[in-house]
Every structure is written in C-alpha cells, then in structure tokens.
C-alpha cells in the first residue's frame, strides 16, 4: 500500500431507514474509534444532515460522504442536489461515476466529469469510480476502459486538485454479485490505472493518488486485496451495512 494512507468508503446505496442508519453510525463511531485508516460513509441523501450532526457530536473522524450530486450550483433542476447544499450539511466527500449511476441511471462521462469538477471546485473530496463490464473484461479491454473513464472523468482537473481525488476501481461484474477480482487481477488493473495517472499528470501525482478496490469486498477477502501494493483500501457496498463486517474490513486496511 506504499506510504499512502488507506481509505475505506462505505456506500450504503438505497438501504436502511432513519433508525437503522443512526444505529449503524452509533456502532461504527465506537468500533472504528482507533483505526488508522481513513473512513467515509455514504448514506442516502435524507439522512446526511442528521448523521453529520451525530458524527460531529461523537467527535468521530469518520467522514460524511454523498453518493451523488448535481453539477449546477442552483436553480430549476427538480430532484437534484448541489455541492453547496451537501457542504452545508457537513458532507466532505462525494462519489462520482459509480457504476450504478453510469449503467443503471445512464450517466455519461461528460456528466460525470462535470460533477467531479463541481465537487473539486467547491473544495470537497471526490471518489471517482471506474471499471469495466464483464464483456469488456472478456474482450481484454479492462485497462483501455479504465483509461478512458479516467481521461474523461478527470478532464480539467488540475494536479493540485488531485490531492482531493481518490479513484475507486470497481469492475462492474463484481459489484453486489459476490464475485471478486482475484488479488492479482485487481493489482494488475490498479497498476495500469496508476500508469494512466502518470500519463495524465506525472509520477508524483500517480504515486500519491489512492486507488480503492470495490466489488464484493468482504471481511474474509479484504486483507488479501489490501495487501496488494497498488490497492489503497476499498469502496464497500453490501458489507458496509453491517457493523462487524465493515469494521473488520476497515481494520484489514490498517
Ligand atoms: C459498491 O457499491 O460500490 C460496491 C462495491 O458494492 P458491493 O461491495 O456490494 O459489491
């Protein structure tokens, strides 16, 4: 994991009710009190404000994350939420380009780039998610797909802003399926992503940028994945909804 501080995110997706969300945060503030890895949780929008208050009241270092954002700053965009509004309720980090937004909701690379830049321009952190579909992997296109999504997603992002960018490599076929990339396959993809970052920026930016692995990370496979030299933590879906599992995963990261 080189000397990059490991970073583990919990993507709750469209799960939990208000009480369950509060109980999960309450448990995590205790179990994750003394871990050295950086941790973020990304609850559904309606719970961000109250969970943000709960995290502050507990003096927790867990970062508050949002699963999505819109790139415009205000106006007639029914149903959308701006970066300023997220910032207002204590959000520190925002996911962009998650595969469910790319492939279920239909977001384009152009939209993902606009969202990424809006978050960074407002001073928040981004976790930019990239990854190939199964047919692309089988056609040997994994590295090309990742390079393309990086190039589009990071267009206009400066080297200085890259200090607030984490990349999450999440092969689409591994998300929520119970199938995980082997540590060797994940490492190979991460190394190629780091090379692309060196091409887009320079070696210094590439070496400093954290690259999380995501896709059915569980308590029993996290340590092996996180032991790979270019894997700097994970983005966790299903297992982030369970205190014991998420805690064990974060502990495996450092
Ligand atoms: C995710 O939501 O980004 C994810 C990786 O989900 P899961 O861990 O459930 O595969």
For the chain, the structural domain boundaries read 1-90+231-254, 136-164+171-207
Query: What is the pTM assigned to this prediction?
Result: 0.97
Q: How far apart are CA 75 and CA 235, in angstroms?
A: 32
With the most atoms of ligand 1 within 8 angstroms of its CB, the residue from 216, 221, 234 to mutate is 216
Task: Say how far apart CA 41 and CA 45 lie, in whole Å.
Answer: 12
Q: Residue 179 and residue 130: Cα distance in Å, rounded?
A: 17
pLDDT confidence of residue 2 = 59
8 Å CB contact between 152 and 108: no
Give, rounded to a whole angstrom, the gap between the first and last alpha carbons of the chain. 10
Distance from the CA of 65 to the center of ligand 1, in angstroms? Answer: 15
| CA 74 – ligand 1 centroid, Å | 30
CATH number for the segment(s) 1-90+231-254? 3.20.20.70
Question: Among 182, 79, 50, 189, which Cα is nearest to 130's?
Answer: 189
Distance CA 125, CA 198 (A): 20
Ligand 1 atom nearest 129 alpha carbon: 3
The residues of the chain scoring below 50 in pLDDT are: 1
pLDDT at residue 61 in the model: 96
pLDDT at residue 193, as a whole number:
98
């Amino acid at each position: 994991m080189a000397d990059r501080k490991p970073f583990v995110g919990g993507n709750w997706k469209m799960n939990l009710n208000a009480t369950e969300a509060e109980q999960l945060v309450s448990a995590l503030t205790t179990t994750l009190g003394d871990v050295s890895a950086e941790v973020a949780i990304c609850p559904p929008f309606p719970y961000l404000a109250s969970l943000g208050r709960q995290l502050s009241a507990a003096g927790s270092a867990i970062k508050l994350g949002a699963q999505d954002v819109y790139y415009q700053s205000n106006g007639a965009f029914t149903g959308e939420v701006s970066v300023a509004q997220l910032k207002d309720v204590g959000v520190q980090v925002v996911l962009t380009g998650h595969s469910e937004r790319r492939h279920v909701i239909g977001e384009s690379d152009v939209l993902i780039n606009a969202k990424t830049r809006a978050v960074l321009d407002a001073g928040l952190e981004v976790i930019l998610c990239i990854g190939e579909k199964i047919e692309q992997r089988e056609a040997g296109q994994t590295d090309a797909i990742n390079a393309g999504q990086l190039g589009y997603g990071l267009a206009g992002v400066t080297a200085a802003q890259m200090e607030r960018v984490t990349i999450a490599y999440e092969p689409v076929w591994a998300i929520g399926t119970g199938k995980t990339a082997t540590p060797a396959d994940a490492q190979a993809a991460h190394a190629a992503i780091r090379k692309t970052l060196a091409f887009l920026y320079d070696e210094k930016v590439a070496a400093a940028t954290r690259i999380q692995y995501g896709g059915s990370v569980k308590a029993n496979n996290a340590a092996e994945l996180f032991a790979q030299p270019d894997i700097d933590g994970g983005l966790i879906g299903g297992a982030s909804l369970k205190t014991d599992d998420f805690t064990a995963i974060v502990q495996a990261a450092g």
